[in-house]
Chain A
Amino acid sequence: MAFGYTGKYAVVDLTSGSVTTESYDKQFYRSYLGGKGFVAYNLLQQVRPRTEALSPENVLVFATGVLAGTRMPGFSRVVIGGKSPLTDGYCESEVGGSWGAQLKRAGYDALIVRGSSPTPVCIVVRDENVSIEDASELWGRTVKGTCSTLKSKLGKTTSVLSIGPAGEKLVRFACIMEDERDAAGRGGLGAVMGSKKLKAIAVTGSKPVAVKNAEELNKIAAWFAANFRNNAPSAALNTSGTPGLIPGLQASSMLPTRNFRAMRFDGWRELAKLGGEWKYRVVKEGCWACPIRCKLSFIVDDGAVGGSQVAHGPEYETIGAFGCALGIDDPLTVLRANVYCNDMGLDTISAGMTIAFTMDCVESGLVQDPELIRLGVRFGNSAVVMPLLEMIATRSGIGDLLAEGSLRAAKAIGAAAEKLAMQVKGLELPLHEPRGKTGVGLGYAVSDHGADHMTAPHDPLFSKAGAYGLETMECIGLDEPVSSVSMDEKKVRLYYYGNMWWDALKCLGACFFCVVPRGLLPVHMVVSAVSAATGWDFGLWELMKAGERAGCMARMFNSREGPCAQRDILPERLFSRSENGDYDGINRDEFYAAVKLYYQMRGWDPNTGIPTKAKLAELGLGWLA
């Protein structure tokens, strides 16, 4: 490949200890683009149906997009995929920082890891040199300890993906951390790394990415830098990061509270302090080439999180999961939980929501575990958060059951508990309320990797004439207001097109915060940037089709594992009115009719939810028929 891509993958087999390089032709790159496209393609090719997620036969794919490592802001995320030990299905999870950019600059578009090692190892990539090295001394260490050891050995500019002790202990929602702050959080891919005895992947890349038209790319990047402060969503992220969502969600009655029992939380003002207006000084950080710098850290100089240090601030999802979802209004508890999860390598959403499930079970009288009673587990009791997290991360006591995730724990407790597990396909719900934005609910249900809030832009962006979503997405046919709480054919179309757009962006390794309708960069500039990087005569049609193709491949992966449509469901609680009556429950009949219509719009069988042969052929996926 001449421009944009390196044209190469590194393939590491931990069983044989071999490292090889594979290359693909231009047609392959134009079909699958990168990111999610590469992940889904390689999982279908390399993971046999019904492979056990924590066995050596599972495969991990780390894939960048065509703009990774360039000056383009927000296009250097790495998409990580494998079979999930939490959902037993297709899993993708993305992370920012600079690891993706470094991999590209080392000379690889993607890295694939197969097999498993008998002893702990790490993979070290120094430009094109890829080696498997002993990591015995790193095993058992926290993420922070691992990063600091590897960086002192390999240099400060090295980027590290690693797991903490939770991944080693095979906690089913263990995450993969990028350096010490960012997480590829969802689906338990940290446990997959743990099962392979792979502690970390350190990458140092020094070669600039060759692009066809650097002037055009630089022009787009400069335009972004000059304008993001005039764009409301970007300016908000620049000021307060994602914690800045809290006041608006509370005002809209969409702040999931006490395991989604209620939609407003009285303690929201305390939690909103994590947006920066707190007693601790704030430092802002960001990802590769991005001027927004939406990551907040706090200088905690009173020892409140264990010694004077920079404490990486929680994102909104984490604040929701350890704050309102638990009925807890103490920002310090949330900050401590975030720091601990990052260090142990736990997904904060699944960890918080599994604790919410536990509190709900205790309050509902479904669990009489003496350990939980002694701890005083109940909504609002902040004192139980850290002990429970420690038990989960180390799989001690009842933590061993909770480390299996809320669905497996519920099955062990009994049928009544299953109704309290707020999950889809085993993945715990993020902190967005489908009763107030039904498209998010549709997304939770039909997403192939389980309940994810980032599969399509959310409904309120499209709910009134002239709204930012409609203004910026008119070019893909979203030009008509759709009520946030409807569940009709317009809503299904909105979700379908929005999902295709976001899957297309996942193929580019893009951050949704940088691109419309959640950020600044307009659709035509995204297309221009790909053309500028590759020199291709590239268009929006091709980009959207790549998104649709990637989504279709993810569905085909799951179709090999068992029935699909039966897993496209929502937790029972969402079909009833919320506790304080802000919104009605989702209408069950309308919802399942919408799911069926969604399948049909996509060219999937309306009963099985599996892509038809005709759709596979249309997308050039005949090899999957």
Chain B
Amino acid sequence: MRVRVRLWAGLNVYRQDRLSDFDLCLEAGATVRALLMKVNVPEEMTAVITVNGQKAKLGHELSDGDCVDVYPPICGG
């Protein structure tokens, strides 16, 4: 299946290609945790993950066409 991934607020530094908005192919039924491993973003550096705009846990199973947004902790400034 194919999902859209958006890495916000600098999380793309963990990717060699530095892409922050891209499509990703995953095996059917893959979870958010599996997605993070595949895109090389450490779990502990994330604060909020949404799937199609709804907050999702690491064990959430993804579906074809999902849009996954990954955010780090947001501090002030």
Q: Which residues of A contact B (CB under 8 A)?
A: 229-237, 239-240, 242, 244-245, 247-249, 251-252, 254, 315-317, 430, 432, 440, 453-454, 457-458, 460-461, 463-469, 512-513, 517-518
Do B44 and A467 touch across chains, with their CB atoms under 8 A apart? yes
Given A230-B13, A236-B8, A460-B47, 18 extra CB contacts under 8 A: A232-B13, A233-B10, A235-B12, A236-B72, A244-B9, A247-B8, A248-B8, A248-B72, A249-B74, A251-B50, A252-B74, A315-B77, A461-B75, A463-B47, A464-B44, A466-B45, A467-B45, A518-B75
Do B9 and A458 touch across chains, with their CB atoms under 8 A apart? no
Partner of B77, one of A235, A242, A461, A467: A242
How many residues of chain B have a CB within 8 Å of chain A? Answer: 23
Do A454 and B76 touch across chains, with their CB atoms under 8 A apart? yes
Most interface-central of A240, A252, A463 (chain B CB within 10 A): A252
Do B44 and A233 touch across chains, with their CB atoms under 8 A apart? no
User: Known contacts A248-B48, A251-B71, A466-B42: does B77 contact A236 (CB below 8 Å)?
Assistant: no
The residue in chain A whose Cβ has the minimal distance to the Cβ of B72 is A232
Most interface-central of B8, B50, B69 (chain A CB within 10 A): B8
> Would you list 19 pairs from A and B whose C-beta atoms are within 8 A, ordered by A residue?
A230-B13, A231-B13, A232-B45, A234-B10, A239-B10, A247-B9, A248-B74, A251-B48, A254-B74, A315-B77, A316-B77, A460-B73, A460-B75, A461-B75, A463-B47, A466-B43, A466-B45, A467-B73, A468-B72
Do A245 and B74 touch across chains, with their CB atoms under 8 A apart? yes
User: Known contacts A251-B48, A467-B44, A467-B45: does B9 contact A245 (CB below 8 Å)?
Assistant: yes
Do A252 and B47 touch across chains, with their CB atoms under 8 A apart? yes
B38-56 contacts to A, CB under 8 A, are: 42-45, 47-48, 50, 55
Asked whether any CB of chain A lies closer than 8 Å to the CB of B62, the reply is no
Do A460 and B74 touch across chains, with their CB atoms under 8 A apart? yes
Chain A residues with Cβ under 8 A from B47's Cβ?
248, 252, 460, 463
The residue in chain B whose Cβ has the minimal distance to the Cβ of A517 is B75
The residue in chain B whose Cβ has the minimal distance to the Cβ of A229 is B13
Alpha-carbon separation in the docked complex, A464 to B44 (Å)? 7
Do A518 and B44 touch across chains, with their CB atoms under 8 A apart? no
**Min CB–CB distance B38 → chain A (angstroms):** 18
The residue in chain A whose Cβ has the minimal distance to the Cβ of B20 is A239
Asked whether any CB of chain A lies closer than 8 Å to the CB of B32, the reply is no
Alpha-carbon separation in the docked complex, A451 to B45 (Å)? 28
Alpha-carbon separation in the docked complex, A247 to B9 (Å)? 9
Alpha-carbon separation in the docked complex, A512 to B43 (Å)? 24
Asked whether any CB of chain A lies closer than 8 Å to the CB of B11, the reply is yes
**Min CB–CB distance B48 → chain A (angstroms):** 5
User: Known contacts A252-B48, A468-B45: does B13 contact A457 (CB below 8 Å)?
Assistant: no
Do B74 and A465 touch across chains, with their CB atoms under 8 A apart? no
Most interface-central of B14, B44, B47, B77 (chain A CB within 10 A): B77
Chain A residues with Cβ under 8 A from B74's Cβ?
245, 248-249, 252, 254, 458, 460
**Min CB–CB distance A465 → chain B (angstroms):** 6
Chain B residues with Cβ under 8 A from A517's Cβ?
75
Chain B residues with Cβ under 8 A from A465's Cβ?
44
